Chain A
């Protein structure tokens, strides 16, 4: 039996509005002293009432529009009822049957690099967006005890700073067919949302989180198999790893004639495995019903038109523009638009009059390599576009060699010093003065008379040795072409 993987994703995005979803408290909770950003409303104190944040509703519509969704003319909130200590009201205000947006898609281009299996051809996967809705985030439980998990905790502390932060949930159709696609989809989605500027999309801070529903079915079958839900994947790599593990696990069960249990599984990033969190067989009854404390929101046609008009340039359009405006290859343009920050970096270089192809090459090569090694994001790099251009200028002027450029790049990346400063400090400028080079050549010849002899005996190999020696004496600074020329000249004189 050949099996097909079916994956649907739920992505939660915390919006970067200045205030929370239903009150005036600051939504900028990261790093704040626990429970300092709270009020009767977000603490769910008796009698307190929610008032919907219009900006959050607009941001949600913007996300939907960017994903080709339609914005509902009327959208309402519902209560999702369940008990949990980090939820102040013991219900979450969410959206049930009238989400802000419905029916969109995101095209995911699977490039050769993105496919872990080399045998496949690049292709485009259209992933349907079922809905985009708005809800409130919960608070945080901090379990005090050895394990940090609730089961063995001595006691637990509650921080409600995050409670009520606007949270957008994007639900895909079960259109994703592999772990690679899932990873690429999430990367693409994050990129789109970053371009919209409505969230900082920081996975480490939890402002962009992903859950996956995964099931397998015989190829050709239309029916969905029993799924498991994987949570706690907080990086692209984790999404890929978790899904690979889950596909293997379910495949093994099914091929052995077993039955997959519907459950929620937790991804362990250390072991690259998933483990059962709780059984979902007894499905939770959330008893959704319309939130009576909030009036439905009406999106007028003009409002939707205005939001659409205000959409910024999205990655796909930016990629097209990079190809046409800067004569870049599609793969270079794809790399440069793979995140908002990368595109911004590149365009800043262009603003500083860089050469597109050269800038692209350095960004894809040296810069990428150093960022990866240091575990930094491009926007965190000390080597800014100004630094990169400072370096490129020196190369163009012939002041430094390609080999030196890489060393200077490394130091600039490390220290944040401009290339010209490093060159100055270390006296690294290329030696192009013929009289200086001549002195060095003479010194090399006198120190290596044996090699000179060999040269004159017709051993051509000896010249390479002499060039190397002369270069060493110049501490690598001599202009190689000039050095070669002078050396040959002097050797012929001696003959």
Chain B
């Protein structure tokens, strides 16, 4: 087995036993990137120099047996909306052209401290808005399973990189499904933790009340190990939860015997592709075979989730993205301007892509005087109803399962002209963002040669249960296909 194909936990054994060095591992990954990224375009930029330094430092730690931890020496990719000190961070937007952050996001800093080796910044939909990574201002990432198809979005670069062995794991951000949807479409594990479990400090905000950083990995165990590293209270983020650190690998093997699994009927009905539905039904059988009790569940307000989401997220985005105004950093128009307002207008017109502009306008409208109550206010009420739906569902079920996405990976360009059909890609994932609860996507097979993802949702802070369920399924199902690249 090639190094870049191994899981994080396997590589940790290899590194600590001295069979390989961090430098060799990095070399393997960099070679893989060199041979595949011209086709895949998962990375916006590589950070080879910093990676070599980090790998060297990791080897020194391994040799001295100091600061050994599961992430030490492991190459990873980070979505380009997380700030990295001294390394250009653009959110795949022209407006941040040339912007070099003066500080690192808390998650990045934690990974650096653990001695993980960052190999590059992964491509994404501009400002995390999109479900196909076609909205990047710089390049379009391909799906490693079929280069004519999209990797999903907005963490498409991160998911494609992990699926293709261009990184052992990656960090993505999930506002409406942006980790789980691309993970599903690329056949890897992706997890959105409970809102507030992972610090957002240094994550360039799309929609603050929905954004959450999480791992994209090759296995459930890997996801748990990464979550161990990035979770925990951060005094720099006041929405960061004050919960003690825990080891999410503990109890993974406890099995699902007696676990009450609910299947929300609203997420298995209309709009779900037959091939996808068939795979999820097979997964349900596996759970039953493992001793779980599976029952139908209901999230009656989930039909309004998409509408609520497309008011709340753009509203917050319209405000979050105001700071990109050409005054202090990033792009500024080179045209002659008449006054300040003219400078703002031209700068922003040039700097933002169509989807971002669409959402800024939507959000601005939703918040404007006279429309607030009808749109934003109403959406917040729906959000409360959705939270109540989940509360009720979790009083009867331990976890909820559903498809992660309604279809497998679609063709590039197929939905770019029709924003609404693109928005539907996140229909199964959005409710959990509105409710702030954790969810994980694990591969549950192939449909016409393309991966299908199974989503497992849990109560707030009940990551251990969804990880346990995902682990049991992963072990039993044993998804071993790899993209042929």
B residues in contact with A88, CB < 8 Å: 323, 328
Give the Cβ gap from B240 to chain A, nearest Cβ, in Å: 9
Given contacts A287-B364, A289-B315, A293-B238, contact A49 B323 (CB under 8 A): no
A85 touches which of B200, B239, B340 (Cβ 8 Å): B340
Given contacts A81-B322, A295-B239, contact A47 B203 (CB under 8 A): yes
A residues in contact with B316, CB < 8 Å: 289, 292
| Interchain CB contact under 8 A, A89 and B323 | yes
Given contacts A289-B367, A289-B372, contact A47 B204 (CB under 8 A): yes
A79 touches which of B83, B96, B200, B319 (Cβ 8 Å): B319
A287 touches which of B81, B237, B319 (Cβ 8 Å): B319
Whether B374 is near chain A, meaning CB under 8 Å from some CB there, is no
Give the Cβ gap from B146 to chain A, nearest Cβ, in Å: 34
Given contacts A83-B325, A88-B323, A287-B364, contact A45 B238 (CB under 8 A): no
Measured between alpha carbons, how far is A43 from B323 in the docked complex, in Å? 10
Measured between alpha carbons, how far is A45 from B319 in the docked complex, in Å? 14
Give the Cβ gap from A397 to chain B, nearest Cβ, in Å: 63
B residues in contact with A294, CB < 8 Å: 238-239
Measured between alpha carbons, how far is A91 from B368 in the docked complex, in Å? 14
Kindly supply a per-residue 1/0 record for chain A positions 46-62, scoring 1 wherever the CB is within 8 Å of any chain B CB and 0 otherwise. Answer: 11111110000000000
| Interchain CB contact under 8 A, B236 and A51 | yes
B residues in contact with A158, CB < 8 Å: 327-328
Instruction: List A residues 1-57 near B (Cβ within 8 Å).
Output: 40-41, 43-52
Residue with the highest number of chain B CB atoms closer than 10 Å, among A49, A50, A81, A88:
A49
Given contacts A40-B102, A293-B238, A293-B239, contact A46 B96 (CB under 8 A): yes
Given contacts A81-B322, A83-B341, A294-B238, contact A47 B83 (CB under 8 A): yes
Give the Cβ gap from B258 to chain A, nearest Cβ, in Å: 36
Give the Cβ gap from B304 to chain A, nearest Cβ, in Å: 20
Measured between alpha carbons, how far is A288 from B239 in the docked complex, in Å? 20
Size category, B interface:
35 or more
List the A residue with the shortest CB-CB distance to B327: A85
List the B residue with the shortest CB-CB distance to A284: B369
Whether B427 is near chain A, meaning CB under 8 Å from some CB there, is no
Whether B105 is near chain A, meaning CB under 8 Å from some CB there, is yes
Whether B201 is near chain A, meaning CB under 8 Å from some CB there, is yes
Given contacts A45-B101, A46-B204, contact A91 B83 (CB under 8 A): no
List the B residue with the shortest CB-CB distance to A289: B367
| Interchain CB contact under 8 A, A292 and B101 | no
Whether A204 is near chain B, meaning CB under 8 Å from some CB there, is no
Give the Cβ gap from A23 to chain B, nearest Cβ, in Å: 9
| Interchain CB contact under 8 A, A49 and B200 | yes
Whether A301 is near chain B, meaning CB under 8 Å from some CB there, is no
Whether A256 is near chain B, meaning CB under 8 Å from some CB there, is no
Given contacts A81-B319, A89-B323, contact A43 B235 (CB under 8 A): no
A residues in contact with B208, CB < 8 Å: 292-293
| Interchain CB contact under 8 A, A52 and B238 | yes
Whether A90 is near chain B, meaning CB under 8 Å from some CB there, is yes
Whether B410 is near chain A, meaning CB under 8 Å from some CB there, is no
Whether B455 is near chain A, meaning CB under 8 Å from some CB there, is no
| Interchain CB contact under 8 A, A83 and B322 | yes
B residues in contact with A45, CB < 8 Å: 83, 101-103, 329
| Interchain CB contact under 8 A, A46 and B368 | no
| Interchain CB contact under 8 A, A90 and B323 | yes
Whether B202 is near chain A, meaning CB under 8 Å from some CB there, is yes
List the A residue with the shortest CB-CB distance to B90: A46
Residue contacts A-B, CB under 8 angstroms, 16 given: A41-B236, A45-B329, A47-B82, A47-B201, A49-B201, A49-B239, A52-B238, A81-B319, A85-B325, A287-B367, A289-B315, A292-B207, A292-B316, A293-B205, A293-B208, A293-B237
Sample of 13 more A-B contacts, CB < 8 Å, known A83-B341, A285-B369: A46-B99, A46-B101, A47-B83, A49-B239, A81-B322, A85-B325, A85-B327, A85-B340, A90-B323, A287-B319, A288-B367, A289-B367, A293-B238
The 9 closest A-B pairs by CB, nearest first: A90-B322, A292-B208, A292-B209, A287-B367, A47-B202, A46-B204, A47-B83, A51-B238, A47-B204
